[in-house]
Amino acid sequence: MSSYYDDASLMLLASGGAQKDGKVYSIKPVPVYGTERVTNGTFNNDLSGWTINNANAGNVVEWSAGQAYLKRTASAATELRQSTLVVGKKYYVNVDVNIIGDSTGGALEYNGSTRFILNEGVNSFKFTASTTLFSFICLSNSTEYYIDNVSIKEVLVEDGDFTFSRGSNLAATRVDAAHLIEKGRENLLLQSNTFDNAVWDNQLGGSVTGGQTGYDGTLDAWLLTKSAIAYKYIRQMNLSASGVYNYSIYAKANTLNKITIFNDVSGANPYATFSLVDGSIVASSGLVDSSATDVGGGWWRLSATFNDTITTARIYPDFGQTTAGSIYIQDAQIEQGLIATDYIPTTTTTGTAGILEDTPRFDYSFGASCPSLLLEPSRLNNILYSENVTNSWWLKSNVTALDNQGISPEGLNNAGKITLTSTGGAVLYRTSLTIGNGVLSFFAKPGTLSAGRIRISVDGVGAAYWNLDGTINSVSGGTAEGAENYGNGWFRYSYNVPSGSVANYGVQGGVIGEGMLVYGMQVEPNATYTTSYIPTYGTSVTRAADTAIIRTLDTKNIITDSGSWTAFFELELLGNESPNDKIQLTDDSNNPRAYLYHQTAGVSPSWLGSSTLNMNTNNKIVYRGNSTQNISFFKNGNNAVTFSTTSTGLVFNRVNFYGANGAFRLKQAILFPTELSDLDCEILTGATTYNTFAEMAVALNYTVYE
């Protein structure tokens, strides 16, 4: 007896959590590729199998240490090419690229003049060949790069992966498998551990020498040697960092025992000078916070947090002293936030990690052991400093505030602390906010309080109060529920209000001198429910909406658009937004379409029938159709309704998931190229009772003896 897995033509399981930036991977179908079309794509010994076209004395195309090297200085390009493709076939391309310096313009040219621009690292894409030829070229007379592991194979079986998009910033977060908040991170420095690169301007009056033994046991450290003149440094210019940012570096004393990390800004230049003997701060200006971690062997990781706009970062050995000498350094980083996080290496571009612009978010909120694909609408956090509680932007009433006082829901030491100076309303607050019909939220760890209630309020509107165990105490002027438990004593509190402009976060009552940790203050204007945390570091930040789409199900042989099909989804609806669909089964015309609109399933236009799902609970649903004018809909174990029309039948070759129209968690999406039986659809959607013994025997694969 075959399984649902065997019968499915597409299967996306969030529990697999397979993704990369811009892609959600399905576990079925598994792509299949043909034989290799590239001869000598690994360049083990030479360029055999390749042709050099349009050779020019001003250009270089040659073999170099197991790679192909291309450089252009002439007006016309020289090409490295092969002619092994078959016209009309679809191909999958992979190539490793190492770009030299800041050059751009490396490309793979195919189909006559179509060009795929190469980026640093692994490059992959698909195309259908209209010519047999493909070529690597340099598009400008300053382009220089290496290629290796060139592979082009025919696509025999397409994948069933979804294209995912969200936005152009690192505003999104998720709860990871360790049940910690994960952000997007970026090291804004280029060549962050190549200090002899031209991007670092050497003003030492001395040398920058690599190959030194580092804190990690590698030979990746550098010796900075300065002359006997004060204020000598290396610097990186043309930076663009603003708001709250952290500047960190690993350093060790040699003949000198101090280091200064210094930032050029439009006003006063913030800096921090550290002792390389004990890690202490010797001098500073414009400092929000600092830290020094002894990593062994005389090495320190030094970190300074500033709140400003910078264009240049400098590193001084023994700032202001007229003694010649040297220090060791390694792995510099500038990133947004209050503390230094794990080092991200960079070369010609900034380095990123965590939740990137188009990273699908497999989310483990509410202590889940299996993730869901989280899709949310665009939201704005109108709080300018969501973590930096000492900032003067935050007004304080009956509290004192300190940054970096404990482990936050990120698992990092970047939680703020407020300490009560009065038993009245002890809050951080902000006036002149745009809240509208909005929702306020923050994280707090009240375990150190012996009395009092957690409070969010809006002046002139009302307040929500929670007991110290997270249960709701009272609400006025708006709506609130019990706090969400984030583990380790942390809760997230949310309060929805119809209007207002003054937001307060803190404690009502309590004991003078006691305090609690706080983190992640958020105001989402014109919203009726809370979405995931959006960090801010000096400006309001908008997280764009999540979208996941798979097209051309017919040409991928997943669904025959004129045949029978069954589509199963398991999901939890979290909220509703603008009047449009969360899920669509359709074609490129989008007319007609089977939909999940807000929490209602149906087919539009001119189809009869609808069915409503419950919010904030797990739902299993099936749409089952064919080329006729009827589509059956099952939900949570029941045959709910048949959608019907006397008009145009549905052509199905595309699935769209839109977070813009209301947040939801997707756990499974499975497509079948056939109409499953009523019984199968009921079982898929959660039926636990059966009409007859025979139905139960079939469903449970029993052997029946007469």
Residue 338's contacts (CB-CB under 8 Å, 6 or more residues apart) are: 244, 246, 288, 289, 305, 387, 388, 403, 404, 414
Structure-token match 């703020």, residue found: 416
Alpha-carbon distance of 569 to 375, in angstroms, equals 14
> According to the model, what pLDDT value does residue 200 have?
97
Alpha-carbon distance of 351 to 683, in angstroms, equals 47
Alpha-carbon distance of 363 to 375, in angstroms, equals 10
Structure-token match 């003078």, residue found: 512
Phi, psi of 586 (to 5 degrees): -165, -165
pTM: 0.91
Phi, psi of 495 (to 5 degrees): -140, 120
Distance between first and last Cα of the chain:
20
> According to the model, what pLDDT value does residue 65 have?
94
> Which residues of the chain fall below pLDDT 70?
1-2, 17, 102, 266-267, 561-562, 627, 689-706
Please give the C-alpha separations between residue 319 and each of 155, 229, 230, 251, 268, in angstroms, as whole numbers.
60, 10, 7, 14, 17
User: Which residues pair with residue 114 across a beta bridge?
Assistant: 110
Angle value at C-alpha 79, between 76 and 82, nearest 5 degrees: 155
> According to the model, what pLDDT value does residue 628 have?
75
> According to the model, what pLDDT value does residue 1 have?
47
pLDDT tens digits, 128-151 = 999 999 999 999 888 999 999 999
> According to the model, what pLDDT value does residue 3 have?
75
Estimate to the nearest angstrom the gap between the alpha carbon of 510 and the chain centroid.
39
Which amino acid, one-letter code, is at 97?
V
Which amino acid, one-letter code, is at 114?
T
Burial of 294 (0-12, 13-18, 19+ CB in 10 A): exposed
Alpha-carbon distance of 621 to 609, in angstroms, equals 15
pLDDT tens digits, 450-470 = 999 999 999 999 999 999 999
Both tokens assigned to 107: 């490309």
pLDDT tens digits, 227-266 = 999 999 999 999 988 899 999 999 999 999 999 999 887 6
In the chain, the domains with their CATH numbers are: 1-30+158-175+353-376+545-706 (2.60.120.200), 32-157 (2.60.120.260), 200-351 (2.60.120), 379-543 (2.60.120)
Which amino acid, one-letter code, is at 599?
Q
Greatest Cα-to-Cα distance within the chain, rounded to the nearest angstrom: 101
Which amino acid, one-letter code, is at 234?
I
Query: Containing H/E element for 405?
Result: strand 399-406
> According to the model, what pLDDT value does residue 493 have?
98
